[in-house]
Amino acid sequence: MSEKKVDPKIAARRLLVRGGLVVAYVFLVGLFFVTGKGHTVLVDNKDAADGSAVGINGALVSIDGREALEQYPGDRDIVLLKGQRHRVRIQLPSGEPPIEMSLALPLNTDMLLLSIPKLVAKQAGYLEEFVQRDQPRPADEKVGDNNAFTSPDAPVTTPAP
Partner 1 sequence: MSGKKSLGRFLTENAVVILFLLITIAAIPSSGLSIQYILQEMITRLGRNTFLVLALILPIYAGMGLNFGMTLGAMSGQLGLILAINFNVGGVEGLAFAALLGTPVSVLMGYICGSVLNKAKGREMVTGYMLAFFINGIYQLVILYMMGAIFPIRSPAILLSRGYGIRNTLNLEGVRQSLDNLLMLRLGGYALPLATFIVIAVLCAFVIWFKKTKLGQDMRAVGHDMTVAESAGVPVDRTRIIAIIISTVLACYGQIIFLQNMGNMATYNAHDQTSFFAVAAILVGGASVKKASIPNVFIGVILLHVLFVVTPRAGQNLFGSAMIGEYFRQFIGYGVIALSLVLYAWRARKDALRAREGLRRASIAAAPEGAAK
Partner 2 sequence: MGQQGPILSVEHVSKEFYGNVVLNDVCFELKAGEILGLVGENGAGKTTLMRILFGMPVIAETGGYKGRICLDGQEVRFSSPFDALDSGIGMVHQEFSLIPGFTTTENIVLNRESMRPSILNDVFGDRMSVLDRPDMRKRAEAAIAKLGVKLDPDLLISEMPVGHKQFTEIAREITRTKTRILVLDEPTAVLTESEAEVLLAALRNIAKLGIAIIFISHRLREVVDVADRVVVLRDGLAIKDLPVAGVSVRDIASWMVGRTVAADAVAGGEGREFGDELLKVEGLWVDMPGETVRDVSFSVRKGEILGFGGLAGQGKLGIPNGIMGLYPAGGSVGLRGKGVPLDSPRAALEAGMAFVSEDRRGVGLLLDESLDWNIAFTAMQVQGAYLRPILGGLFKIRDEAGMRKLTEEYVGALDIKCTSPKQKAKELSGGNQQKICLAKAFAVKPDLLFVSEPTRGIDVGAKKLVLDTLHRYNREYGTTIVMVSSELEELRAICDRIAIVDEGRIAGILPPTAELPEFGLLMSGLAARNAREAVNA
Residue 13 binding partner per list partner 1, partner 2, none, with a CB distance cut-off of 5 to 8 Å that depends on partner kind: partner 2
The stretch among 51-59, 68-76, 122-130, 133-141 that binds partner 1 (CB under 8 A) is: 133-141
CB 39 within 8 A of CB 112: yes
23 contributes a contact to partner 2 by CB under 8 A: no
Residue 139 binding partner per list partner 1, partner 2, none, with a CB distance cut-off of 5 to 8 Å that depends on partner kind: partner 1
Task: Say whether 48 sits in a helix, a strand or coil.
Answer: coil
160 contributes a contact to partner 1 by CB under 8 A: yes
Q: Which pairs count as long-range contacts for 63-68, CB under 8 Å and 24+ apart, including other chains?
A: 63/87, 63/88, 63/89, 63/103, 65/89
Q: Residue 95 and residue 1: Cα distance in Å, rounded? A: 77
Q: Residue 99 and residue 61: Cα distance in Å, rounded? A: 10
Q: Which is nearer to partner 2, 15 or 101 (CB)?
A: 15
Q: Which of residues 4-43 bind partner 1 (CB under 8 A)?
A: 25, 28-29, 31-33, 35-39
CB 38 within 8 A of CB 82: yes
153 contributes a contact to partner 2 by CB under 8 A: no
Residue ranges binding partner 2 (CB under 8 A): 2-3, 6, 10, 13-14, 17-18, 21
